[in-house]
Chain A
């Protein structure tokens, strides 16, 4: 038996407002509500609603034999609640079928692991609480932001009690081995590692509508034949959920592909679908994977250079990271939340200069004309954040007259998570 494990990343960042030098010192919001709403509503219409409906239909149609997994960020759920709770409801209904697994990650889809272990644990806990609250679900599998992964990350995630973790199935550490097996992270004893089959995943997420691709058009029966021809325990197809309807438009036939895929897969009796949780429970590791440095699923480099590849990115990240102590001593939920929203990986991605000249995939997800615009805008906001923060501190109050985005003034004390007080999954 070979299983197919489909996992989808569901995320929307809180995009930043245009923040000029002249805005520093004003009370302008850091987050561009109008733009976030516009994008959220567009993606909801093109992707979330139709894809959720299609998945629900497939689960019903095949009596639960079709199964999928999601990682849903906190920033995404916040936008659901704010712009269209119906989207959240449709995810909740999917989870209720029992054929869906939810993974944990950092609430803010952030680079928190690089900020520090405590910050990482706090954001994971926040995500865990959010999933419990909205889905009444307790994840057992973890996926770090952008599939950032290393031996140390695996060890840390194992210590939090997770049974499984996802990573990119990149050849530099897989070597001759196949990604279609469960592995054990180097230095870990219990946690299992599922590795993305990037060729088969990217056939759908990137190449599906590429007319110059020799395999174009990709049909469900052809793809199912490829899957059937793969050896191994579990074929991990990990992709952004927005692949359906947003990256690959409706007109490309991506929904027909999705609708026909399970039926075509079931024509091959040795194939079935599993969730990430089931894959981890069912399959025993066949070997150990050693990833001493932090890898990711981005670009051809599969490293951190999409977020921290140039000096501007590193400087912006270091600048936000440096504020940790200051922000936490203020003990104000709103400041903490703003600070964490500024850690979301997307902000750093926009500053990437790697593919800038060629105008590549980075361009597609990007409101900024140049990486310089992105950096400057971010730094202006950070500079204002520092000002607001020191104003709040100077006033000697534990919280500023900062309005949360729903307009109601709210002043909550943060719960301090003590060092080493990591939760258990």
Chain B
């Protein structure tokens, strides 16, 4: 089985969960004997990968007969759209020289190439939808051009992999996907990578509640702040730590000041990979207040690091994690109630920690790779 995977990021070059996902997926697929070629944009890191061939294509070199005309949107920078376009064109150009059985793409940044490669080569197309434009914009102001790309890709794909039943429902209801070709494969966790042993550094006197994610409307960081305000009314000795960056950051800092809780809120900005396990482990409670979260892999990471979680009802991860608290993202009183409960009742904290770890350990990346091979590649390969 030879697979051409059109990627967008790969560790250490990444900005979100997609890179992590592709790393674990490809590593475990190649362990199953799948022969992979991984395309990605040219980047400053010299990525060495022992288990597959990585091809970095350089958008700057883009000239020639395969170029499309990019349509620039208002909401994204012209440069970003340009880069996506150029990258997709180059990926197509490269693909036409290669031999493979299946094309596999991830999200709209790479599916344009996938659709085009399928059109020209007739090879089957598998796409993984990690999130849609509705998710990323919190359902508020989706970019219609991107939506159209997503609709086209879903229509053209032979198999659509997505990360939760909630997402499958969305793809069927809002994108008109044929339910028979949508396959749910949950994300997974590499437990060992998150266990940091005895070197947990706890705050000396305060309990720590953690938010970890992009500071964007999708992730609901503003609800986290409002819940923090409610918690602090009952318990002053709590520190609210917010990791991640994003366009809402200035607004959030302002809001923490207006709420009068800036002394108890800490903005950490970007967290490097190697520090993440320590941050999770240092926290007492992890909150995922997402407005719309296709999966929510940070929840698995937090549980693996031994920190109980509170997650929004609008997250796919609730389908696999039962040992958690589930709240509506807008219900900040209930969010605060659950935070206080986890801080107040150590036995409950311990039980959720223990049961949660046991529960998620069944979701392994080798399982994801096996399912991808069986339910997607083998189903469409000719």
Contact = CB atoms under 8 A, between A and B. Distances in A.
Given A372-B348, A375-B345, A376-B345, A22 B234 contact: yes
Interface string A378-395: 011000000000000000
A353 B355 contact: yes
Given A353-B355, A379-B341, 17 more contacts: A20-B333, A20-B334, A22-B230, A22-B337, A310-B351, A312-B351, A315-B347, A356-B323, A370-B324, A370-B326, A372-B325, A372-B341, A373-B325, A375-B348, A376-B348, A379-B345, A379-B348
A380 B342 CA distance: 12
B31 to A, nearest CB: 28
A120 B249 CA distance: 59
Q: Contact size class for B?
A: 20 to 34
B324 A22 contact: no
B120 to A, nearest CB: 47
Nearest to B355: A353
Nearest to A20: B337
Question: SS class of chain B's interface: helix, strand, loop or mixed?
Answer: helix
A357 interface: yes
B347 A21 contact: no
B336 interface: yes
Interface in B323-380: 323-326, 333-334, 336-338, 340-341, 344-345, 347-348, 350-352, 355, 359
A132 to B, nearest CB: 41
Contacts, number: 54
B254 interface: no
14 contacts: A21-B337, A22-B234, A312-B351, A353-B355, A356-B322, A369-B326, A370-B325, A372-B325, A375-B348, A376-B338, A376-B345, A379-B345, A379-B348, A380-B341
A353 B353 CA distance: 13
A284 interface: no
A311 interface: yes
Given A21-B337, A21-B341, A375-B345, A311 B323 contact: no
A357 B360 CA distance: 11
A376 B351 contact: no
Given A357-B359, A369-B326, A21 B234 contact: yes
A372 B234 contact: no
Given A21-B336, A370-B325, A376-B341, A353 B348 contact: no
A353 B352 CA distance: 10
Question: SS class of chain A's interface: helix, strand, loop or mixed?
Answer: helix
A226 to B, nearest CB: 38
A359 to B, nearest CB: 8
Interface of B: 230, 234, 322-326, 333-334, 336-338, 340-341, 344-345, 347-348, 350-352, 355, 359
Nearest to B340: A21
A160 to B, nearest CB: 35
A380 B333 CA distance: 15
Contacts of A379: 341, 344-345, 348
A370 B347 contact: no
B234 A311 contact: no
A369 B324 CA distance: 10
A376 B336 CA distance: 13
Contacts of B230: 22
Contacts of A356: 322-323, 355
Contacts of B333: 20, 22
A282 B140 CA distance: 75
A366 to B, nearest CB: 13
A376 to B, nearest CB: 4
B311 to A, nearest CB: 11
Contacts of A315: 347
Nearest to A379: B345
A31 to B, nearest CB: 19
A379 B351 CA distance: 15
A399 B264 CA distance: 42
Interface in A207-233: none
**Interface pairs A-B: 4 shortest CB-CB:** A20-B337, A376-B341, A21-B340, A311-B347
Contacts of B350: 311
A343 to B, nearest CB: 19
Contacts of B325: 370, 372-373
A22 B334 CA distance: 9
A4 B216 CA distance: 68
A369 B327 CA distance: 10
Nearest to A357: B322
Interface-central residue, B325, B348, B350, by most chain A CB under 10 Å: B348
Nearest to A371: B351
A353 B326 contact: no
B331 to A, nearest CB: 11
Contacts of B348: 312, 372, 375-376, 379
Nearest to B349: A372
A120 to B, nearest CB: 26
